[in-house]
Chains A and B, each alone.
Chain A
């Protein structure tokens, strides 16, 4: 079983919909949680990061971490066609070096 599980999709929604992307993890030592966006034929780019539990909002994006359930989410409000990409969750332990463990990525398409 992988340390981080993420439904690969694909997920297809109409423009303007609220999108929910999720990851579960098994390592309780993970404390730092990130979401990356990867457009086709490009490298991943950091969208948001959250330390420990709680919510974080940045414009149309909201990241949630529930450490008790080992579950993290990314919500996209008022989704746009330009949000079409693969979204990867990533996480890391606090101690030691910066070793990120990534989910498989969810491919998202927003239809105009």
Chain B
């Protein structure tokens, strides 16, 4: 168990809908990352937050947004969902968010868009 928690475990929704994925980092970690894992694209970095501030952006679509709250938990919002958004979404956390910090991954949220 990495200490990173993600809810919900599974999410099934329809195209055009909006969903929110939630992540609680390991105790003491200040940085949170979001990743998308799909069969065709593999594991892709979406966005990183550090202590409430956005630090880095990857291949995150404009329909997706995220935030990190004062208690350091984070939410990833996905809107106007498309079939291609079906994937595993992972949250990871690290202490300071610098390059040599180990990222600890949560168990993921499996999103299915029908």
Task: Write the chain A residue with the least CB distance to B58.
Answer: A99
Interface size class of B (residues with CB under 8 A): 20 to 34
How many inter-chain residue pairs (CB < 8 Å) link A and B?
61
A80: interface (CB < 8 Å): no
Query: Is the beta-carbon distance between B99 and A44 smaller than 8 angstroms?
Result: no
Give a binary string over B9-35; 1 marks a CB under 8 Å from any A CB, 0 the rest.
Answer: 000000000000000000000010100
Closest to A100 in B: B45
How many A residues face the partner with a CB closer than 8 A? 23
Q: Which residues of B contact A49 (CB under 8 A)?
A: 100, 102
Say whether B56 contacts A99, CB under 8 Å.
yes
Set of chain B residues within 8 Å of A32, measured between Cβ atoms = 99-100
Q: Could you say which residues of chain A place their CB within 8 Å of the CB of B97?
A: 97-98
Partner of A99, one of B45, B92, B94: B45
Given contacts A97-B48, A98-B56, contact A92 B105 (CB under 8 A): no
Is A45 within 8 A of B43, CB to CB?
no
Taking the complex as formed, is B7 at the interface, i.e. its CB lies under 8 A from any CB of chain A? no
CA distance A94 to B98 in the complex (A): 10
B23 to chain A, nearest CB (A): 11
B105 touches A44 (CB 8 A): yes
Taking beta carbons and an 8 Å cutoff, which residues of A are in contact with B?
32, 41-46, 49, 51, 88, 90, 92, 94, 96-105
What 8 A-B pairs are tightest by C-beta distance, nearest first? Answer: A43-B105, A97-B56, A102-B43, A104-B42, A44-B105, A97-B55, A46-B102, A98-B99
